């Protein structure tokens, strides 16, 4: 019998029901489905999927173990390279990485690598993490600034190498963008907390409410630690810079999602964090963050949730799966649409959004076709709430407070191919060095930095 051409479908909540709750949309494979999906793997000699994985997981090896029903060994194989498999199995853009180069994709659908990673990590979640037997200690101390995907990955790898690691987090809860930026229905916070507990089981210490650059400087950390890793992400929003953008009920995506996710506004008044969502909500942008905002607005009671984007769906940076989920839930898309101004009522609340229609020209530096305004095509939309989700850049606080730390355009920290900054003993990785990118790419930078830090401190 030939190999099944289509991957086994991921069970999901019904769209009409799920917009009434914040429970996870995807429900996960059961054991039988996971084994059957794993058996589709061709076990290619050249392992293209491994090349497509930013953290280098031995995908055929873990998949083979799943096909044999040995789920414990499968998750151990993944954890040889990844410290956050339950996160990656949910939010990693595997369709553009490991699955994109899967040989099965040449004649049918690629192997459901992401679904299988999620399955075995969820299998592990049902067990209690035992404190790992520590490796031989080096006596070296490393400070990791930021507990997002780059920081957690770097910290976990360094702890496995025998170093004593302390993570400094500015917020009262760990996880960085995994906690404040990604909604509960896509990445449950209990999953993030479980992954952090795994990192702590390796011996990593977490320090919360620590704003590095304000409470403690990088220079002070350097005096107490043998090396410092900066992984503070990109949490400062971009704005449209158009008239009326300061009206009430116009949010940045950062504020909107932080209120909902970290501060539990979706459970108001149980949690004392309000967020105002009117009947008609428009989100500007078409990345994953924008789609998260639009889908969240529906769950908070919006009757109509619209995404306005200046290019077409083909150029939208959001994952195909997330756009599909949004459409299923009733989110409407207005492509080739660019806001040019906002007007409000006498109370200062936004009520109208003037837009201009766009057409596409030649590709720009991103490789996507450049949006061009169509003269005289302006029109107005009624709005109650607007969310600006057009990207984020690094917060300049740490960089400005750190003498001799070189930064480039948009405030990103300059690093070389080994994540080394302009200051000896200081390394950086993730969105702070690239601008807003994906969780898995930040993890890859954290791994690379850990290897470079290990070499640096062992030479010292």
Question: Could you tell me which of 431, 432, 433, 414 has the C-alpha nearest to residue 423?
Answer: 414
Supply the mean pLDDT for the chain: 94
The pLDDT value recorded for residue 460 is 67
Tens digits of residue pLDDT in 41-96: 999 999 999 999 999 999 999 999 999 999 999 999 999 999 999 999 999 999 99
Tens digits of residue pLDDT in 155-182: 999 999 999 999 999 999 999 999 999 9
SS3 assignment for the chain: CCCCCCCCCCCECCHHHHCCCCCCCECCCCHHHHHHHHCCCCCCCCCHHHHCCCCCCCHHHHHHHHHCCCHHHHHHHHHCCCCCHHHHHHHCCHHHCCHHHCHHHHCCCCCCHHHHHHHHHHHHHCCCCCCCCCCCCCCCEEEEECCCHHHHHHHHHHHHCCCEEEEECCCCCCCCHHHHCCCCCCCCHHHHHHHHHHHHHCCCEEECCCCECCCECHHHHHHHCCEEEECCCCCEECCCCCCCCCCECEEEHHHHHHHHHCCCHHHCCCCCCCCCCCCEEEEECCCHHHHHHHHHHHHCCCCEEEEEECCCHHHCCCCHHHHHHHHHHCCEEEECEEEEEEEECCCCEEEEEEEEEEEEEEECCCCCEEEEECCCCCEEEECCEEEECCCEECCCHHHHCCCCCCECHHHCECCCCCCECCCCCEEECCHHHHCCCCHHHHHHHHHHHHHHHHHHHHHC
Instruction: Calculate what percentage of the chain has a pLDDT beyond 90.
Output: 89
The pLDDT value recorded for residue 132 is 64
Contacts of the segment 418-423: beta carbons below 8 A, 24+ positions apart: 418/448, 418/449, 418/451, 418/452, 419/229, 419/445, 419/448, 419/449, 419/452, 420/452, 421/230, 423/218, 423/222
d(CA 200, CA 144): 13
Predicted confidence (pLDDT) at residue 269 exceeds the cutoff of 90: no
Predicted confidence (pLDDT) at residue 1 exceeds the cutoff of 60: no
Confidence of residue 235 (pLDDT cuts 50, 70, 90): confident
Mean predicted confidence (pLDDT) in 5-21: 95
Mean predicted confidence (pLDDT) in 393-405: 92
The pLDDT value recorded for residue 128 is 64
Tens digits of residue pLDDT in 340-392: 999 999 999 999 999 999 999 999 887 889 999 999 999 999 999 999 999 99
- Its sign, for the CA torsion 245, 249, 252, 253, is negative
Confidence of residue 135 (pLDDT cuts 50, 70, 90): confident
Predicted confidence (pLDDT) at residue 129 exceeds the cutoff of 80: no
Mean predicted confidence (pLDDT) in 316-328: 95
Mean predicted confidence (pLDDT) in 451-458: 97
Strand partners, 307: 283, 333
- Contact partners, residue 352, CB within 8 Å, separation at least 6: 342, 343, 344, 380, 381, 382, 383
The pLDDT value recorded for residue 348 is 97
**Contact predicate 263/171, CB 8 Å:** no
- Contact partners, residue 53, CB within 8 Å, separation at least 6: 59, 81, 97, 98, 440
d(CA 402, CA 388): 30
Mean predicted confidence (pLDDT) in 104-118: 96
- Write down the residue that tokens 């090396």 correspond to: 227
Q: In Å, what is the CA distance from 48 to each residue of 52, 162, 249, 345?
A: 6, 32, 47, 57
Q: For each of the domains in the chain, give its residue range(s) and CATH number, in order of start.
A: 15-125 (1.10.1060.10), 141-235+394-459 (3.50.50.60), 239-390 (3.50.50.60)
**Contact predicate 144/231, CB 8 Å:** yes
- Write down the residue that tokens 């489905």 correspond to: 33
Predicted confidence (pLDDT) at residue 131 exceeds the cutoff of 70: no
């Amino acid at each position: 019998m030939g190999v099944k051409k289509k991957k086994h479908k991921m069970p999901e909540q019904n769209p009409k029901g799920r917009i009434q709750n914040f429970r996870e949309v995807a429900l996960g494979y059961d054991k039988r489905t996971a084994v059957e999906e794993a058996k589709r793997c061709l076990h290619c000699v050249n392992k293209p999927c491994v090349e497509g994985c930013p953290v280098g997981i031995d995908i055929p090896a873990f998949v083979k173990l799943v096909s044999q029903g040995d789920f414990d060994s499968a998750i151990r194989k993944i954890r040889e390279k990844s410290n956050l498999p339950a996160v990656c199995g949910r939010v990693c853009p595997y369709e553009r990485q490991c699955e994109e180069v899967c040989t099965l994709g040449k004649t049918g659908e690629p192997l459901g690598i992401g679904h299988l990673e999620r399955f075995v990590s969820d299998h592990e979640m049902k067990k209690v993490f035992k404190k790992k037997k520590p490796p031989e200690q080096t006596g070296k101390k490393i400070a990791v600034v930021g507990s997002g995907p780059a920081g957690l990955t770097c910290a976990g790898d360094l702890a496995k190498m025998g170093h004593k690691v302390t993570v400094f987090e500015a917020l009262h809860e760990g996880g960085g963008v995994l906690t404040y930026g990604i909604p509960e229905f896509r990445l449950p916070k209990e999953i993030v907390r479980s992954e952090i507990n795994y990192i702590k089981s390796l011996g990593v210490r977490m320090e919360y409410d620590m704003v590095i650059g304000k409470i403690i400087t990088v220079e002070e950390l350097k005096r107490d630690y043998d090396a410092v890793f900066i992984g503070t992400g990109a949490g400062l929003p971009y704005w449209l810079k158009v008239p009326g953008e300061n009206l009430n009920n116009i949010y940045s995506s950062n504020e909107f999602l932080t209120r909902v996710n970290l501060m539990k506004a979706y459970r108001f008044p149980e949690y004392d964090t309000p967020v105002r969502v009117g009947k008609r909500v428009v989100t500007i942008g078409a990345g994953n963050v924008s789609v998260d905002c639009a889908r969240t607005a529906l769950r908070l009671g919006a009757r109509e949730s619209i995404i306005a984007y200046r290019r077409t769906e083909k150029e939208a940076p959001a994952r195909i799966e997330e756009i599909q989920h949004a459409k299923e839930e009733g989110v409407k898309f207005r492509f080739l649409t660019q806001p040019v101004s906002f007007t409000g009522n006498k109370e200062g609340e936004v009520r109208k959004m003037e837009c201009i229609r766009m057409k596409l020209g030649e590709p720009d530096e991103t490789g996507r076709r450049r949006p061009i305004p169509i003269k005289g095509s302006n029109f107005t939309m009624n709005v109650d709430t607007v969310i600006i989700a057009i990207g984020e850049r690094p917060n300049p606080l740490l960089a400005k407070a750190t003498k001799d730390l070189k930064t480039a355009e948009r405030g990103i920290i300059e690093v070389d191919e080994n994540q080394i900054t302009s200051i000896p003993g200081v390394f950086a990785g993730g969105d702070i060095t690239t601008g807003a990118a994906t969780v898995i790419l930040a993890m890859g930078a954290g791994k690379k930095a850990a290897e470079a830090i290990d070499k640096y401190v062992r030479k010292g």
